[in-house]
Chains A and B, each alone.
Chain A
C-alpha cells in the first residue's frame, strides 16, 4: 500500500535559523510531489511542485527552497527562517496518469518561528 511520511510533526525554530523538512513516499513510483503551506485560518498555498527527480517548480517568491534528490523524497529547506515562515506545512503526492486522482497528504508539520 502507498504511504507518505512527513517529519517532524512540530518544530519551533528561532528567526534566522535553517530549516529542513523531509517527506518520503512508499508504495509508488514517479509520483508528483507537492509542498503546501497553510497560515493560521487560511487556505493551502502551493509552494513547490515536482514531476520528477531534480524537477522543481517554485510557485511563489519566498524564503524557501525545495529539492528532490530521489524519486520518492522531497525536502523543503531554508537557510534563514523569517517570522512569516510560520505555518502548517503539508507534503503530498499524486499520480496524474492513474485513474485514481486522489491527492495523498502527509500528516503535516506545524512550524513556529520565534
Chain B
C-alpha cells in the first residue's frame, strides 16, 4: 500500500463547478498535512495546511479525519486558473524522521 494515495485523475469540470479531492495516508503517526498545487513542469507551491478542525481559504476548504486517515480538498466555484495538479502531502511521524511524502497528484482541468 502506498504511503499517501490520492484519487486518480484527471478531473474535467466546467467553470463554476464544485470539485472534491480525496487522499488517504497509511501511517497513523503522521504529524501534519498539506495540499500543494503544481502547474505543468513547475515546482509545487503550498496551497494550504490541513487541520483537524478543518480550514477554509476563500473558495478552498480542507478537512482532516485522523481516525480514518483521510484528507480532503474542496474547491467551490472553479475558475479556469484552478487547472493544475493537486498534491496531497503528509509529514511522516518521528519514526520516519518527519520527512514529507507526496501523493501521486490529481490533475484538474477546468473548462469554459
Contacts and interface: CB of A to CB of B under 8 A. Distances in A.
Interface of A: 32, 34, 36, 42-46, 49, 51, 57, 88, 90, 92, 94, 96, 101-103, 105-108, 110
A108 B42 contact: yes
Contacts of A94: 100
Dominant SS among interface residues on chain B: strand
Contacts of B41: 88, 108, 110
A51 B104 contact: no
A11 to B, nearest CB: 14
Interface in B25-51: 32, 34, 36, 41-46, 49
Dominant SS among interface residues on chain A: strand
A43 B32 contact: no
Contacts of B36: 103
Interface in B57-84: none
B99 interface: yes
B32 A49 contact: no
Contacts of B100: 34, 46, 92, 94, 103
Contact of B98 (A32, A92, A105): A32
A89 to B, nearest CB: 11
Contacts of A46: 99-102
B67 to A, nearest CB: 22
B99 A57 contact: yes
Contact of A43 (B43, B45, B98, B105): B105
Contacts of B34: 101, 103
B94 to A, nearest CB: 10
